[in-house]
Amino acid sequence: MVQSISAPPVSGFVCDPHSAFYQAHLYEIYRTLRDEFPVYYSEMHDLRIVSRYADVRSILLDHDTFTVNGVAESKQLPPMLVYLDGERHTKLRNLISRGFTPRRIAAMEGRIRAITRKLLDDLAGESVVDLMHSFAAQLPSRVVAELIGIPEERREIFLECTEGMIETGPKEHQITEPAKLIFAEFDELLAQRRKERRDDLMSALIDAEIDGKRVTAEELMGFCFLLIIGGNDTTMNLIGNGIALLAWHPEQRAELVRDVSLIPGAVEEMLRVEAPTQALARRPTRDVELHGVTIPADSRVLINYGSANHDDRVFEDSDLFDIHRPEIRHLSLGQGSHYCMGSSLARMESRIAFEELLERYPEYQLESEPDWVTSRWARSHPELEVRLQPTSQ
């Protein structure tokens, strides 16, 4: 079962996504939201939270009524797919999706496995390691850096900045400073690619055209920013959360060790139970009535993937982690026009990560109970202190 603390009472219920209490009591809070406040209004942050599966899915599929255009985060960042709807979004998405074709992703498997094995080789001889930073974060960071074309000596700053954007704390999410550092790095790298093309996505994007015109400099920067953020954070947290879940459920981990064909299904259940992205914002284009509550036009709405994935109206025993769960219809990677383009890559990286990790360390143990990063949008461990248990030779 998901690790949790006893639920707060409904009377006087307050949901503050920016608080540490929120992470500690997350799934009890989600249950209260779904059962008692399916459209919850936070006066503190002037936002509404939608938490039931059917409602979240409906909103994700209705970008005319619930748009990403004009949400607060978009005003601090260059134009990018996650904050665009309409025709321009479709054309930009079609362009960038050329880098994520099934053939291209399949061709990356050998390289991803080599990176995974090298990371595990580097842990040889260690008894206790932080698998969050030495493994879960490093694997996707290296993969996406190679894909984009970031030199090895400059990859760590991108990882530090993307990790810095996860934590939101008690105040509003401040993304400006780490974003500026990422922009500055990409500005320099893109300038180098304009002088000399290479076999990477940065070079391909510089030469890309839509309707006979090159993409704008802002859109190019937005592409690179989205690729590095999505490529780092989502997969890092998927692998990190999965490491903890399997430690908490050793009997299910043992099944994966015996039968690696179960790992893809286990990854889907990891995505459902501990969605790396818990919530994202939408802006209603008109007044909307939902569960007897009016959601005003142009207000701020958080669609809560994490809560939707635990909705008993859809998932039996929804808080249980079960690698044999049939038909896992989670919403962790989105739906509709904003479905995660890198989903196939994230799934492959995670599958390979657990195949290789469990082959070498089938009985690893958590050295201490991991904390959760305080974040209104992500589900992430700041570190994972793990005692490795190598297979006896």
% of the chain at pLDDT higher than 90? 56
Residue 259: inside a domain: yes
What whole-number distance in Å separates Cα of residue 146 and Cα of residue 150?
6
Residue 1: inside a domain: no
Q: Quick one: pLDDT band at residue 7, thresholds 50, 70, 90?
A: very low
Please determine, for residue 370, whether its predicted confidence score (pLDDT) is greater than 90: yes
Which pTM does this prediction carry?
A: 0.90
Residue 171: inside a domain: yes
Residue 249: inside a domain: yes
Q: Quick one: pLDDT band at residue 392, thresholds 50, 70, 90?
A: low
Tell me the pLDDT tens digit for each residue of 331-366.
Answer: 999 998 889 888 999 999 999 999 999 999 999 999
Q: Quick one: pLDDT band at residue 390, thresholds 50, 70, 90?
A: low
328: domain range? Answer: 20-387
How high is the pLDDT of residue 362? Answer: 96
Question: For residue 164, what are the CA distances in angstroms to 178, 221, 243, 281?
Answer: 7, 19, 21, 19
Q: Quick one: pLDDT band at residue 3, thresholds 50, 70, 90?
A: very low
Q: What is the tally of structural domains in the chain?
A: 1
State how beta strands 279-284 and 301-304 pair. antiparallel
What CATH number is associated with residue 307? 1.10.630.10
Highest mean pLDDT among 93-97, 109-113, 374-378: 109-113
Residue 173: inside a domain: yes
State how beta strands 66-67 and 279-284 pair. antiparallel
Q: Which residue has the higher pLDDT, 122 or 230?
A: 122
Residue 3: inside a domain: no
Residue 265: inside a domain: yes
Q: What is the DSSP code string of 153-194?
A: GGHHHHHHHHHHTT--TTS----HHHHHHHHHHHHHHHHHHH
Q: Which residue has the higher pLDDT, 175 or 4?
A: 175
Residue 56: inside a domain: yes
In this structure, what is the dihedral angle of CA atoms 329, 330, 332, 337, given to the nearest 10 degrees?
A: 40
Q: What is the mean pLDDT of the chain?
A: 89
